[in-house]
A and B are shown apart, each in its own frame.
Chain A
Amino acid sequence: MVKRKVAALEKVDADLVSLQYKIRRDPKSYAQEFYDQWLSYDAQRHIFVSSPSTASTDDVKKFHDLVDIVAHVADLYPDLTAPFPDHLKDLLNQHHAVLHSELREKVVGSLCLLRRKEVIDSTSLLTTLFPILISTPSKTLRSLLYTKIISDLRESNSKATNHRLNRTIQTVLHNLVTSDRTSTKGMWATRITRELWRRQIWTDAKPCDVMKEACLSDNEKVVAGGVRFFLGGDKEREEMEDDSSDDEGIDIKRVKHQGGINKKSKKRMKQFEKAVDKVKRQERKKSAPHPLNFSALHLIHDPQGFAELLFQKHLQNTKCKFTLDNKLLILQLVTRLVGLHKLTIISLYSWFVRFLTPKQAQVTSFLGSLAQATHNLVPPDALEPLVVKIANEFVSEASASEVAAAGINGIREIAIRQPLCMSETLLQDLVLYQRSKDKGVVMAAKGLQSLYREVYPELLQKKYRGKDATMGLRSGEVKLRKFGEEDTGGIEGIELLEQWKQEQREKKLAEQALIEAEGGEVKKIDDDEDGFNSDEWEVGSDDSDESDNGWINVSDDEEDGEPAKKRPKQTQMTDEDKANAIAEANRISVLATTSILTPADLAKLQELVREANIDKAMGGRTSKRKKELIARHIDEGVTAEDIELPATIGKKSTKEEREALAREGKPGRDEHKSTQAIRKSKKEAEGKSSTNKEKARKKNFMMTLGKARAKNKRSLIDTKASLKAHVAKAKQGGRRRNGVA
């Protein structure tokens, strides 16, 4: 007799997967079967819970499978499986330390699955996972929980911001950081917050508050996490955004084309629809208004108090034993805050004194931080001793050229922000270093000189003032700003907008009356030319327009931009100029005060400002210092590299450095090689042959010799014949008959 074949389900490893499939297809008919499995799950759970640590591998595996099937169909039998989420939660809470790793993973995964099927809500899931994340000793479980938590938060914020959930979680994180300031548990708060910030899921002030608390923690790691967030979180966020906008690799045309060629099937159809959908979504995303995201540094509540606390707790406190790197990070944050919000922490400057020696490790970072901490409201008295100290310690004939260059550059960075910090003798002394032999020192000294030519030429010796500054001084145009003096405020670029509106109005008028059209055109051309034919008041107003282009609020004097241009008028028309300026001011205030700027207006304004900015940068009429300030966004701080920059001038780089520089823009190359060589080796690898030219070049010399000799020996007649034949052949288009039909 033939041996009886056992049906698949009669074998013992009866198929839970197929049962699951059947249940999903027809939940009502398979209720009884599910109930069986539910009971057996329950029995297995009891077996497991009675001794979780000593459960046999068989039991664990069975339990694992049963949990899996119940989780997958739990949404179909809600009243039967009502206690299931609680079972899982209890299991995880009580036994996560002893659970078998696969089972543990399955339980976590099942909970997340239940969340996706909306059997449980996010809050309950996260409040279950979070305590375990903090307390578990297992690294794999931690990383699993971390990813699950992040992905769940992302998911629940994907359609619309889930404010309630976010608030709950943020409060949990806040409490985590503040409850025990000495423990490393706060790390998780910083990690989660930073990740969600990077993904732009959390963009408000609350996560900043969490990070602020993290910065004030006692644990070094937590503090470093918080500080790094403020220093780099926004940049990370921008990069993330750029990355995500880059990966739009779908070529809709190609997909369409493929659809036309390949066999038509439901799957392909779906693929096509998906691609179209994705492209549409991306387009919608592109046209959507850019979300206004404030940087974390701006969202801090009470920056003065925060900076003071941070400084006192971690820097001024001599008992604080953080590493130098972390202290530097904290210092950077404190000084960034001081510079950005123009805070006043007087003791900070005196604290700096003992670090400003060339022997101090990472002294350039200290110099950069000091520059960051300087703004126009810092009393010069506080800065002067520091500047003197830097000059004494760094800048002397005896010190190394790099040290001197870094010192002078550091002083310059401070002086950009507060020119009053310098005494006359010191400046004159420093400027003399432009006679040094080292190029770096020369550049740094010249930088300092050109800075003072613009802001405070009186301090320089006459021969170093330069032409522009001397004339500016004589005409009273270059003026020293007193301590605490500020620009009068206004809306950036409002006059540009007004001018543009005026033009639009004129255009309309011109269209209405054809005769006037010519006149309008002419006027506009005048505008564009920035005309020097100063007979109409419009041109005059245009001029002053240019002069105080309000887009750089950072700097001081309005007329700074173009002293050269004003020259012809200066002697005669100062009165008129003043009158114009007053009229201008009135006009601006008229537009700003009489109308409400619509979003369209604001957009146009931004555009105009950008255009004007570019014009000015291209024109080369702006001073170097202003260009520099335009280039550097106010949010970016001064780094050690900025300070070290002049010292690197004139230094030969090593081969490795050059290679690294060359490879920077070309990722995906395993060797540093010329493009030609790479192409060639690629061709060889593909088994393709070389070109005729290459063959000729490679041809053995001895082989060519005979022909060359024979050519030389030809008679004149032969030569003529061959030349003629060559010309004739060329006329016919060569051997290939190019260009001949």
Chain B
Amino acid sequence: MGSSNRKKKEKKKDFAKAKLKVGREKAKAANFTDTSFKSKSISINQKSIIAEGVDQVEQFKQNLSLAVAAKSDHARRDALAYLVNQLSARPPNNPVGIAGLLTKLLPLLSDGSPPVRTGLLKLFRVFPPAEVGPHVEKILMYIRGGMTHLSTDVRSDTLNVMEWLLEVAGDDVVSCPGGWLKTLNSFSCMLGWNPSVGSALVSKGWTSASKTTTIGMGSKNGREVQARQIEVLAKFLQVGFRQETPAPFSPMAYWDNIYQLPARANPFAYLNLFGVPRDEDNEMYPDRISRQRIFEAKWENSMVAGMTGAKKEGGLVGRAASGMEKVLNDEVNGSKSTQA
């Protein structure tokens, strides 16, 4: 009867038992919430469940990709440790090659977690030195990126890598394209001994603090950091100004030059046959004389000024600065001796 009847029926419906039928889905409850979703990719915390007994090449590759792409810091660190193990084994096991490793791992230089960065340095240290030489230019690019990174921790860790690279392939570092001037630029920027920015500001009638104001610089370990930076800079300059020992005479040199395959990669790099034209910063400075000349023209004043300032500060920084002064003095003497 009318609406009341209908309402009664509706009420009854709530208490009626739902009939289940074979082959038909159960009816959804009234308060059912759909929690399914669509996604283009699924990331899983534990990357792989395969453990031992897989072939070594696969495992190496897996760890390599883990080291780069794993979400958790620990996984990355562990993967790096595995790689260190493999490389330091006798004979070293490296199915990918140094070049492959470097392309994958270099972005980790500015990785977020400190253990990963130290792990990376450890890995670098077990690389065979001879194989690093051809990749110096590429490594330097990342180092320069790391040296100007916002975070001080990354900067100082990058300096360690720089130190390693200077030890392993010092000559390549200072003579590769962009290796001399651009790296000097990054160093000065790190230390705040920068002529270009300062002059740009002074010209507008402003004075500026020469030091970077990045947080961490003024803190307690800021001094240590700065001392370390000066130290590494001194090492860099030392390598750059090192006296070259002339190659010993060999009677076959002439013929080797003509008929032998060159021993180094890209022996005609200085001709820059296929690259874009280089500007002053990107230019190669293959020998000591040219490095000295450009250093004196562009950097000597600001470097010396910065150094004397640092020396006056005394302490750790002062000590590092006097170390650097020694290097510079040697350079002056060395150049005099060569000119003489």
A12 touches B200 (CB 8 A): no
B3 touches A14 (CB 8 A): no
B148 touches A32 (CB 8 A): no
- In the complex the two chains form, what is the Cα distance from A15 to B204 in whole Å? 29
Contact with B along A29-71 (1 / 0, CB 8 A): 1111101110110111011001000101011001000000000
Residues of B within 8 A of A80 (CB): 196-197, 200
- In the complex the two chains form, what is the Cα distance from A700 to B211 in whole Å? 92
- In the complex the two chains form, what is the Cα distance from A11 to B153 in whole Å? 8
A40 touches B197 (CB 8 A): no
Q: Is there a chain A Cβ closer than 8 Å to B149's Cβ?
A: yes
A12 touches B154 (CB 8 A): yes
A10 touches B215 (CB 8 A): yes
Q: Is there a chain B Cβ closer than 8 Å to A716's Cβ?
A: no
Interface residues of B in 141-157 (CB under 8 A from A): 141-142, 144-145, 148-154
A39 touches B107 (CB 8 A): no
Residues of B within 8 A of A58 (CB): 68, 107
- In the complex the two chains form, what is the Cα distance from A43 to B109 in whole Å? 13
- Shortest Cβ distance from residue B110 to the other chain A in the assembled complex, whole angstroms: 7
Which B-chain residue is minimally distant from A12 (CB atoms)? B112
- In the complex the two chains form, what is the Cα distance from A654 to B75 in whole Å? 70
Q: Is there a chain A Cβ closer than 8 Å to B47's Cβ?
A: no
Which among B111, B142, B190 has the highest number of chain A CB atoms within 10 Å? B142
- Shortest Cβ distance from residue B279 to the other chain A in the assembled complex, whole angstroms: 10
Residue total for A at the interface (Cβ-Cβ under 8 A): 37
Interface residues of B in 120-158 (CB under 8 A from A): 138, 141-142, 144-145, 148-154
- Shortest Cβ distance from residue B8 to the other chain A in the assembled complex, whole angstroms: 14
B148 touches A36 (CB 8 A): yes
Q: Is there a chain B Cβ closer than 8 Å to A698's Cβ?
A: yes
Which among B68, B103, B107, B213 has the highest number of chain A CB atoms within 10 Å? B107
Q: Is there a chain B Cβ closer than 8 Å to A19's Cβ?
A: yes
B153 touches A47 (CB 8 A): no
B200 touches A37 (CB 8 A): no
Residues of A within 8 A of B154 (CB): 12
- In the complex the two chains form, what is the Cα distance from A54 to B144 in whole Å? 20
Residues of A within 8 A of B208 (CB): 28-29, 31-32
- Shortest Cβ distance from residue A414 to the other chain B in the assembled complex, whole angstroms: 60
Q: Is there a chain B Cβ closer than 8 Å to A302's Cβ?
A: no
- The one of B104, B144, B178 in contact with A56, judged by C-beta atoms closer than 8 angstroms, is B104
- In the complex the two chains form, what is the Cα distance from A441 to B216 in whole Å? 94
Contacts A28-B206, A33-B212 given; indicate if A40 touches B149 (C-beta within 8 A). Answer: yes
Q: Is there a chain B Cβ closer than 8 Å to A522's Cβ?
A: no
Which B-chain residue is minimally distant from A35 (CB atoms)? B197
Interface residues of A in 1-38 (CB under 8 A from B): 7, 9-16, 19, 28-33, 35-37
Which B-chain residue is minimally distant from A38 (CB atoms)? B148
Residue total for B at the interface (Cβ-Cβ under 8 A): 45
- The one of A32, A40, A44 in contact with B194, judged by C-beta atoms closer than 8 angstroms, is A32
Interface residues of B in 177-217 (CB under 8 A from A): 178, 182, 185-186, 189-190, 192, 194, 196-197, 200-201, 204, 206, 208-209, 211-216
A698 touches B3 (CB 8 A): yes
A40 touches B148 (CB 8 A): yes
- The one of A7, A13, A59, A62 in contact with B215, judged by C-beta atoms closer than 8 angstroms, is A7
Q: Is there a chain A Cβ closer than 8 Å to B53's Cβ?
A: no
Interface residues of B in 90-110 (CB under 8 A from A): 103-104, 107, 110
Residues of A within 8 A of B103 (CB): 54, 56
Residues of B within 8 A of A283 (CB): none
Q: Is there a chain B Cβ closer than 8 Å to A248's Cβ?
A: no
Q: Is there a chain A Cβ closer than 8 Å to B54's Cβ?
A: no
Contacts A12-B154, A50-B138 given; indicate if A32 touches B197 (C-beta within 8 A). Answer: yes
Residues of A within 8 A of B110 (CB): 12, 62
Q: Is there a chain A Cβ closer than 8 Å to B29's Cβ?
A: no
Residues of A within 8 A of B150 (CB): 9, 14-16, 19, 36-37
- Shortest Cβ distance from residue A607 to the other chain B in the assembled complex, whole angstroms: 62
A79 touches B200 (CB 8 A): yes
Which B-chain residue is minimally distant from A66 (CB atoms)? B145
Contacts A14-B151, A28-B206, A700-B1 given; indicate if A39 touches B144 (C-beta within 8 A). Answer: yes
A12 touches B153 (CB 8 A): yes
Residues of B within 8 A of A31 (CB): 197, 200-201, 208
B197 touches A59 (CB 8 A): no
- In the complex the two chains form, what is the Cα distance from A523 to B96 in whole Å? 109
Which A-chain residue is minimally distant from B112 (CB atoms)? A12
- Shortest Cβ distance from residue B281 to the other chain A in the assembled complex, whole angstroms: 9
- In the complex the two chains form, what is the Cα distance from A19 to B149 in whole Å? 12
Residues of A within 8 A of B3 (CB): 698
- In the complex the two chains form, what is the Cα distance from A700 to B197 in whole Å? 92
A39 touches B214 (CB 8 A): no
Contacts A29-B208, A56-B104 given; indicate if A39 touches B153 (C-beta within 8 A). Answer: no
Which A-chain residue is minimally distant from B275 (CB atoms)? A50
Q: Is there a chain A Cβ closer than 8 Å to B2's Cβ?
A: yes
Residues of A within 8 A of B152 (CB): 10
A56 touches B68 (CB 8 A): yes
- Shortest Cβ distance from residue B108 to the other chain A in the assembled complex, whole angstroms: 8
- In the complex the two chains form, what is the Cα distance from A392 to B68 in whole Å? 82
Can you show 8 pairs from A to B with CB atoms below 8 A apart? A30-B213, A32-B209, A35-B194, A36-B212, A40-B149, A46-B141, A77-B200, A80-B196
Other A-B pairs beyond A33-B213, A47-B142, 19, CB < 8 Å? A9-B150, A11-B112, A11-B151, A19-B150, A28-B206, A31-B200, A33-B212, A33-B214, A35-B197, A36-B214, A37-B148, A37-B150, A39-B185, A40-B145, A47-B145, A54-B103, A80-B197, A700-B1, A700-B2
Q: A-B pairs with the 9 shortest C-beta distances? A: A14-B150, A40-B148, A43-B145, A12-B112, A43-B144, A58-B107, A39-B148, A36-B148, A14-B151
